[in-house]
Amino acid sequence: MSACYKTPLRSSIRAQRVFPSTILRTVLRRSVASKPVYEGHIPLNALENAFLAVGSAVMSLADPRRGDMIAALGETTAGPALPRLRDLMLENAEGRQILKDRPRVNSHTVDMDALARLPEGTFGRAYVTWLERCGVTPDTREPVHYIDDPELAYVMQRYRECHDFYHCICNLPVNVSSELALKFFEFVNLGLPVAGISAAFGHLRLSWPQRQRLFAEYVPWALKCGSSARSMITVYWEKRWEQSVQEMKKELGIWDPPEAKWPKALSEAKAAAAKRAAVPSHGESQSHVV
Amino acid sequence: MVRNVFDSVASKYDLMNDAMSLGIHRLWKDDFVSSLKPGRRGPMKCIDVAGGTGDIALRILDYARETYADRETSVAVVDINGQMLKEGYRRFKKTMYHNTPQVSFHEGNAQELSKETFPDNTFDLYTIAFGIRNCTSIPMVLQEAHRVLKPGGTFACLEFSKVTNPLLGSLYDQYSFSVIPLLGTILAGDRESYQYLVESIRRFPSQPEFARMIQDAGFSTGGLFEGKGGAWRDLWGGVACIHTGVKL
């Protein structure tokens, strides 16, 4: 079962050798904006891209609730990281299947009620429990606008939509400290610059005790676990709903971080899930309401 | 469609204006109002159309008060968009004109002003700043302006216009099409509205064309040239422009 996947760190070192000439080539090629190639595509030339990168960085720090700005920052600073991730996906069978199917994650494509009925200990059940505990849905992800290649745009979209799966498998809630811990994890695991930028600046908004806890406990976990785990972008989460969470963590090389503060206790979430499982027909009609 | 655009830009309107024009719009509006000298020949009844957030109305009242000690001049602020008027009302609440007869707010269409609220031959001064390019039918707006003005009353329009200098023009184009939609994305989370604003500027008639339209509506203007004695005056090379006319 353990195929040979290049670890993320080794690949990023290879990428760094081509980094300077890639930038020069990109800037020369992108002096004029191209035409839109997918829905929502907003082509930018190199200057506009730089302007938006700086502007979205400032705005993300000033108002962290602007999810669209963090998304824009990710897209404008992606650079060679996205082609590298796409190549990682192409190198393994599961990743290739994802690129072929291009699955999307939202409440229409994921049947929440079916997942809630799965046995305890499966990934699908754990995901629904996690959503319940944190009070979030998979529907709030900004679509990709500023990536010119449609396949790379999909890789970016996939990264954004799988973020909640990373939360779930790493057993982290959605508070600021946990999000930052996950950004450190994502940065060493996937190599996306925006994860590094968020990690480097996001902690400025924390209080001193929170920051100390972050760097003393979560960051070492994130760096160790993220760099040794398999690249998260190559995991076809939707095909693993029935897989046991423990088995999955062993396969991917992930272990739990220090215990975090959850908004809702596990028992509350379990009770809500049980109530939903007990009324399947009502739940069925609910999932089709737009 | 215009109403929807301004619903979404209303709350950030003043911030966006400052960011997009780097504060220069304030200089343009100061120039516009001081060149009109409101209150010079006694108290005036003014109507400021598409004046939602109250920039021009406030300047008119302040100018009359500070230069001529005039507290009788009044401005009726008219706008098609309720959100913009609300912003204007909020701004005026911070001034001494709130709850006085000097300012009033009306929701209405510049192309069809209500005949009860705005009867014929009522006003001494009609101003419209950065609003006329958003109207579907400029001739209808000009006709209404002609209707509500008294004979001898002044029509004044401040608007973005065509830049004649090619170097300035290409820099301005680059700025408009690249920077402004991105500023809209970053500051207001809304690219489309600001893309619309930039395109509406490009669609607006050139200075001589617009001056001719003002003449066609029955106003007497200066000659069809720029500057002293002319029908218009360019600001910053034509980026903005002040057109004036008098109802005979």
User: Residue A282: is its pLDDT beyond 80?
Assistant: no
CA distance A97 to A90: 9
Q: Does A52 touch chain B (CB under 8 A)?
A: yes
Beta strand B230-235 pairing with B123-129: unpaired
Instruction: State residue A288's pLDDT score.
Output: 40
The CATH number that applies at residue B69 is: 3.40.50.150
Retrieve residue B141's tokens. Answer: 């707006």
List of residues 6+ apart from B244 with CB closer than 8 A: B154, B155, B156, B157, B221, B222, B231, B232
Report domain extents, chain A: 80-277
Instruction: State residue B35's pLDDT score.
Output: 95
Instruction: State residue A58's pLDDT score.
Output: 93
CB-CB under 8 Å, A45 with B186:
no
If one counts the domains in chain B, the total is: 1
Instruction: State residue A73's pLDDT score.
Output: 95
List of residues 6+ apart from A65 with CB closer than 8 A: none
Instruction: State residue A285's pLDDT score.
Output: 42
The response to whether B50 counts as a known ligand-binding position is no
User: Residue B50: is its pLDDT beyond 90?
Assistant: yes
Contacts of B189 in chain A (CB under 8 A): 66, 68-69
Residue closest to B155 by CA, chosen among B120, B186, B127, B113: B127
Retrieve residue A273's tokens. Answer: 């899930």
CA distance A183 to B13: 35
CB-CB under 8 Å, A72 with B183:
no
B24 confidence band (pLDDT: 50, 70, 90)? very high
Chain A residue with minimal CA distance to B188? A66
Instruction: State residue B2's pLDDT score.
Output: 62
| Residue of A51, A58, A145 best to disrupt the B interface, most CBs of B under 10 A | A51
3-state class of B80 per DSSP? Answer: coil
Burial class (CB in 10 A: 0-12, 13-18, 19+), A275: exposed
Question: pTM of this prediction?
Answer: 0.78
Chain B nearest CA to A98, separation (Å) = 31
Chain A nearest CA to B227, separation (Å) = 36
Retrieve residue B205's tokens. Answer: 């008639």
More confident: B200 or B74: B74
CB-CB under 8 Å, B186 with A59:
yes
Residue closest to A84 by CA, chosen among A162, A159, A29, A166: A159
Task: Give residue B202's domain range.
Answer: 2-247
* ipTM field: 0.77
Round the average pLDDT of chain B to a whole number and report it. Answer: 92
CB-CB under 8 Å, B179 with A59:
no
Instruction: Convert the pLDDT of each residue in B119-151 to its tens digit.
Output: 999 999 999 999 998 888 999 999 999 999 999
CB-CB under 8 Å, B179 with A51:
yes
- As a whole number, mean pLDDT of residues A41-55 equals 94
Instruction: State residue B51's pLDDT score.
Output: 87
Instruction: Convert the pLDDT of each residue in A77-108 to its tens digit.
Output: 998 999 999 999 999 999 999 999 999 998 88
Residue closest to B104 by CA, chosen among B140, B73, B134, B141: B73
- B237 — alpha (psi -120 to 50), left (phi > 0) or beta? left
Count CA atoms within 13 Å of residue B208 on its CB side.
4
Instruction: Convert the pLDDT of each residue in B56-67 to its tens digit.
Output: 999 999 999 999
CA distance B127 to A271: 65
- As a whole number, mean pLDDT of residues A220-232 equals 93
B153 confidence band (pLDDT: 50, 70, 90)? very high
CA distance A187 to A194: 8
User: Residue A276: is its pLDDT beyond 60?
Assistant: yes
